[in-house]
C-alpha cells in the first residue's frame, strides 16, 4: 500500500543534541513538507521541497535543517540551535493543487 511513514513515533532529545526525524513516502509525490504543531496550536511550516536537491524555508526554519537527496525521502534535523524543540512534528506530501497526505507524526521531547 502507498503511504507516507514517519519514524520514530516518539523521540527524546537531550539538551544540545541534534536529532533527525525520518519521513519516507511511496506515493510518488513531488512536494514534501515539514510542519510543527504545539499543544492547542495550528500547524506551522518549517521547510518544504518540490524537487530533489531543492528545498525552501518555511515560516519557522531557524534551528532546523533538511535534505532531499531522493524523491521518496525528506529527513528533518532538529539542531541544538532550536531552543524549544518539544513539539509534534508532521511530515506531508502532495502534488500541485491536490490535497496533502500526512505521516503519523513524531512527538519530540527534550529531557
Q: What are phi and psi of 99, to 5 degrees?
A: -70, 165
- Using CB under 8 A as the binding rule, whether residue 51 contacts another protein is answered as yes
Stretch that binds another protein, among 15-23, 29-37, 62-70, 78-86 (CB under 8 A): 29-37
- Using CB under 8 A as the binding rule, whether residue 73 contacts another protein is answered as no
Closer residue to another protein, CB minimum distance, 51 or 81: 51
All cell numbers assigned to 61: 526554519
What DSSP letter does each residue of 16-30 carry, written as one string? T--EEEEEEE-S--S
- Using CB under 8 A as the binding rule, whether residue 79 contacts another protein is answered as no
Cβ-proximal residues to 13 (8 Å cutoff; 6+ apart), any chain: 19, 78, 85, 108, 109, 110, 111
Tell me how far CA of residue 52 lies from CA of 9, 85, 107, in angstroms.
25, 26, 26
Among 19, 23, 25, 48, binds another protein (CB under 8 A): 48
Among 66, 90, 108, 110, binds another protein (CB under 8 A): 90
User: What residue ranges bind another protein (CB under 8 A)?
Assistant: 30-31, 33, 35, 41-43, 48, 50-51, 88, 90, 92, 94-105, 107
Amino acid at each position: 500500500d502507498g503511504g507516507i511513514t514517519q519514524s520514530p513515533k516518539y523521540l527524546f532529545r537531550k539538551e544540545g543534541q541534534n536529532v533527525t526525524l525520518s519521513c519516507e513516502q511511496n506515493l510518488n509525490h513531488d512536494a514534501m513538507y515539514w510542519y510543527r504543531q504545539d499543544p492547542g496550536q495550528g500547524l506551522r511550516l518549517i521547510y518544504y521541497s518540490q524537487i530533489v536537491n531543492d528545498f525552501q524555508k518555511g515560516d519557522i526554519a531557524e534551528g532546523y535543517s533538511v535534505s532531499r537527496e531522493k524523491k521518496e525521502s525528506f529527513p528533518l534535523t532538529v539542531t541544538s540551535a532550536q531552543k524549544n524543540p518539544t513539539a509534534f512534528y508532521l511530515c506531508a506530501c502532495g502534488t500541485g493543487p491536490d490535497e496533502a497526505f500526512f505521516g503519523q507524526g513524531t512527538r519530540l521531547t527534550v529531557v
